[in-house]
Amino acid sequence: MSRIGRVERTTKETSVLVEIDLDGTGRTDVSTGVGFYDHMLDQLGRHGLFDLTVKTDGDLHIDTHHTIEDTALALGAAFKQALGDKVGIYRFGNCTVPLDESLAQVTVDLSGRPYLVHTEPEHMAPMIGTYDTTMTRHILESFVAQAQIALHVHVPYGRNAHHIVECQFKALARALRYASERDPRAAGILPSTKGAL
C-alpha cells in the first residue's frame, strides 16, 4: 500500500504544493525561493529516504517568514496524510547526528499529540543567506502542529549556524524515517495500548 501525502495550500501570501512518499529513495525536487531552506528540505528527503516535492511561491518581496512557515505547515499535513492509520509502524524514532563541531539529538513519537521541545545554542548568527535562524524553531512548531507528533530536538553545542541548523534537519530526517518505517514483527498492529494514535 502506498504511503503518499499530497497537500496544496493557497493563501494571499503563499501558494504551496508538497508531495511526500514515505517509502521512497530520497529523491527530492524542492523550490521555495529561499536557498538555505531548500537545502534543508533536501536533507530531510535524502536522509529520511522520502521522495519529496516542494513547490512554494511566496511573498518574498516582504520577507521569507510566510514562505517558510506555510511550507512547513503543508509539509506537516502531507506527512500526517502519508502515515495513514499508522498500523504496523515503529512509531518511535531517534537519531543523533554530528556535523563538525555541532551535534543534534532528535527523538520523535508519532503519537497524534502535537508537542515540541526545542533547544539550540543561543547567540547564533542571525542569518544564513536569506534564512532567519530564528525560523528553525518555528518550522518545527508548524510541522509538529500539522503532523500531530511529539518532537524533541536538542542541540547541546555548536558554533557555526549553518552546521547547527543542518544537523537538526539531518537528525530529524533519520528519526522520522525510523519512526515511520514498517515493523515486520508488528504487521497489522497499531503501536498503542489505547487503540488509537
Q: What is the rounded average pLDDT for all residues in the chain?
A: 97
Beta pairing partners, 54:
18, 30
Distance, CA of 177 to CA of 42 (rounded, Å): 14
Beta pairing partners, 145:
none
Contact criterion met (CB below 8 Å) for 107 and 171: no
Tell me what pLDDT residue 192 has: 87
Contact criterion met (CB below 8 Å) for 26 and 48: yes
The 10s digit of each residue's pLDDT in 56-93 is 999 999 999 999 999 999 999 999 999 999 999 999 99
What is the DSSP secondary-structure string of 114-163? -EEEEE--SS--SEETTEETTHHHHHHHHHHHHHT-EEEEEEEE-S-HHH
Q: Output the furthest CA–CA distance in the chain (Å, rounded).
A: 51
Relative to beta strand 115-119, strand 150-157 is parallel
Cell readout for 96 is 543523533
Q: How many CB atoms lie within 10 A of CB 148?
A: 18
The 10s digit of each residue's pLDDT in 105-116 is 999 999 999 999
Distance, CA of 88 to CA of 180 (rounded, Å): 9
Residue with cell 529523491: 27
At the top level of CATH, the class of 4-180 is alpha beta
pTM above 0.95, yes or no: yes
Q: What's the whole-number mean pLDDT along residues 48-54?
A: 98
Choose among 78, 34, 73: nearest CA to 52.
78
**Which positions ≥6 away from 111 have C-beta within 8 Å?**
91, 148, 149, 150, 197
The 10s digit of each residue's pLDDT in 131-183 is 999 999 999 999 999 999 999 999 999 999 999 999 999 999 999 999 999 99
**Which pLDDT band, with edges at 50, 70 and 90, does 55 fall under?**
very high
Q: Is the pLDDT of residue 19 over 90?
A: yes
Q: Where are the domains of the chain?
A: 4-180
Residue with cell 515493523: 183
Choose among 17, 4, 191: nearest CA to 93.
191
